[in-house]
Amino acid sequence: MRDLHNNIKLASSLIPAVTLAARAGAPVDRRGFQSVDYLVLVGTNGNALSASVKLELKIETSEDGTNWTPVTDSRLVQGASVTAVGIFLSLDAAAKTAQEYRLGLLGNDRYSRVSIVVTGTHATGTPIGVVALLSHASVKPAA
């Protein structure tokens, strides 16, 4: 089938929630799929964001879904670059909130996830949710 609906699968990694503290996404299992893209949905910030009060999103991979390693090679991501600790998005200004971001992940690790690192005090928080879009299914229709 050549339609999009039967060729992709969605997996929730971070349930949409107001973020006040560090959060780690649920592992996304790429088994049966060749590609994964992460869709990050950021709501309106509830705090005055700055270099000392910010949220940073990190991409991590794992072979077993338990032991996690940050992706630090920008050649393994599409749509962003990563830092030496795997940060691909720094929400440190109001202009960076209330929008969507997309990150494509390359590589062979079976599991991946997005985690949020919180710097400073976040009294009100910022809503963030992350959905994984799995594509290029080995068996179709994708389930």
- Domains present along the chain, CATH in parentheses: 5-137 (2.60.120)
Q: Closest Cα partner for 29 from 67, 65, 66?
A: 65
What backbone phi and psi angles, to 5 degrees, belong to 81?
-115, 160
Q: Closest Cα partner for 114 from 139, 140, 86?
A: 86
Pairing of strands 54-62, 87-91: antiparallel
**The token pair that represents 85 in the structure block:** 């600790």
Q: What pTM was computed for the model?
A: 0.92
Residues in the chain: 143
- Please give the chain's pLDDT, 143 residues, in tens: 567 888 899 999 999 999 999 999 999 999 999 999 999 999 999 889 999 999 999 999 999 999 999 999 999 999 999 999 999 999 999 999 999 999 999 989 999 999 999 999 999 999 999 999 999 888 888 87
C-alpha torsion sign, points 11, 15, 20, 24: negative
